[in-house]
């Protein structure tokens, strides 16, 4: 179905997804603090605020700021935005810090991204973690969401799996947003089948297909088969996050609790899942990002707020 989205509608949809991403990131990262247990969250006992967001949110804010200013991804601009806004204490991985330092000191992004991991390029989950709001922005075209996600990934992730992770998340967010506009919730199996259809063959593609076969199974079974991001690769992160988002697409708190319970790279799994689910539910709505969770999150940077 073809339809037109006006610029301020795109911005509002992407903003809801960014709130879902950043609240998930900020709350998820609290569970790396010793003594915090998933059972606390399940029982409604929350960490003290403010919940500080991490690299996932910082980079996602740059993606949204670029879309707001330019309307599409200009890779040269995005690479410089990532590089100049990087605050290393936000939990960036060592590979990302190196690539962003190279870009900041004048190395062209294609060279910096290709140099990572002995010339293989990064297949980390960093391109997937920041891209959900871009999918919401391009809710009117999964084809464009996929192409723009690829562009946004390439500036740091030269490995095909790192790029596929971003494409998968953006397409999922675009479909979740479109379903919100249509006023219906896609069955989880249809959502995952549509994401898989948008991907090139590879490990992320296989993982998303495996995730579809695990719908309705217990969380622990899904984590066992799909991973939970503990290896911080796209392959080990994205299939599980799309299983969780498809399963809990109309219940943001349940989606985030599933990520916390799953363990692993919790700030990033909760950021990805939060971005996709909030693109569907919105903020402050029934099943959406709770207003008190949003208030507990550290404010977003001035340059995107």
Which position among 16, 55, 203, 236 is part of the footprint of Mg ion (CB under 5 A)? 55
Q: Which is nearer to Mg ion, 27 or 212 (CB)?
A: 27
The answer to whether the CB of 45 falls within 8 A of the CB of 37 is no
The answer to whether the CB of 282 falls within 8 A of the CB of 42 is no
| Helix ranges, 30-131 (H) | 38-42, 55-70, 75-85, 94-104, 109-119, 126-129
Element (H or E) spanning 260, and its range?
helix 252-262
Q: Is 118 annotated as a binding residue?
A: no
Instruction: Please give the Cα distance from 160 to 136 (Å, whole number).
Output: 23
Report how far Cα 217 is from the mean position of its chain's Cα atoms.
23
Q: Which is nearer to Mg ion, 95 or 284 (CB)?
A: 95
Residue 275 has phi, psi (to 5 degrees) of -65, -45
Rule CB under 5 A: is residue 265 a binding residue for Mg ion?
A: no
Tell me, residue by residue from 225 to 264, as one string, x for binding to Mg ion by CB under 5 A and - for no binding.
----------------------------------------
The answer to whether the CB of 228 falls within 8 A of the CB of 264 is yes
Candidates 50-58, 119-127, 137-145, 182-190: pick the segment binding Mg ion (CB under 5 A): 50-58
Rule CB under 5 A: is residue 91 a binding residue for Mg ion?
A: yes
Rule CB under 5 A: is residue 54 a binding residue for Mg ion?
A: yes
| Residues binding Mg ion: number (CB under 5 A) | 5
Q: Is 182 annotated as a binding residue?
A: no
- 214-252 in b/e form (b: 16+ CB < 10 A) is beeeebeebbebbbbbeebbbbbbbbbbbbbbbbbbbbb
Q: Is 55 annotated as a binding residue?
A: yes
**Least gap, CB of 209 to Mg ion (angstroms):** 27
Which position among 128, 245, 267, 296 is part of the footprint of Mg ion (CB under 5 A)? 267
Query: What DSSP state is assigned to residue 232?
Result: -
Candidates 88-96, 107-115, 165-173, 248-256: pick the segment binding Mg ion (CB under 5 A): 88-96
Candidates 37-45, 53-61, 112-120, 163-171: pick the segment binding Mg ion (CB under 5 A): 53-61
* Residues of this chain that bind Mg ion (CB under 5 A): 54-56, 91, 267
Residues making up the annotated binding site are 54-56, 265, 267-268
Residues making up the annotated binding site for Mg(2+) are 54-56, 265, 267-268
């Amino acid at each position: 179905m073809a339809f037109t989205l006006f610029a301020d509608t795109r911005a509002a949809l992407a903003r809801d997804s960014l709130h879902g991403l950043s609240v998930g990131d900020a709350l998820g990262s609290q569970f790396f603090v010793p003594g915090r247990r998933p059972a606390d969250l399940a029982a409604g006992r929350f960490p003290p605020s403010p919940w500080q967001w991490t690299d996932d949110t910082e980079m996602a804010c740059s993606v949204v700021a670029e879309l707001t200013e330019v309307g599409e991804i200009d890779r040269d601009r995005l690479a410089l935005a990532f590089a100049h806004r990087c605050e290393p204490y936000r939990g960036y991985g060592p590979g990302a810090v190196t690539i962003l330092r190279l870009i900041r000191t004048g190395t062209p992004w294609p060279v910096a991204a290709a140099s990572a991991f002995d010339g293989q390029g990064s297949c980390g989950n960093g391109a997937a973690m920041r891209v959900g709001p871009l999918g919401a922005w391009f809710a009117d075209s999964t084809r464009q969401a996929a192409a723009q996600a690829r562009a946004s990934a390439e500036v740091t992730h030269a490995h095909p799996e790192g790029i596929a992770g971003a494409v998968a998340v953006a397409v999922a967010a675009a479909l979740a947003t479109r379903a919100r506009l249509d006023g219906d919730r896609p069955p989880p199996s249809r959502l995952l089948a549509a994401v898989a259809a948008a991907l090139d063959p590879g490990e992320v593609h296989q993982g998303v297909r495996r995730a579809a076969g695990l719908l309705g199974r217990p969380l622990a079974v899904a984590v066992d088969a799909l991973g939970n991001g503990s290896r911080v690769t796209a392959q080990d992160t994205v299939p599980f996050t799309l299983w969780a988002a498809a399963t809990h697409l109309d219940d943001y708190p349940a989606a985030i609790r599933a990520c916390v319970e799953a363990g692993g790279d919790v700030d990033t799994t909760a950021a990805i899942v939060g971005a996709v689910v909030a693109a569907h539910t919105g903020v402050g709505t029934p099943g959406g990002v709770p207003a008190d969770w949003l208030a507990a999150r550290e404010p977003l940077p001035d340059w995107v707020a």
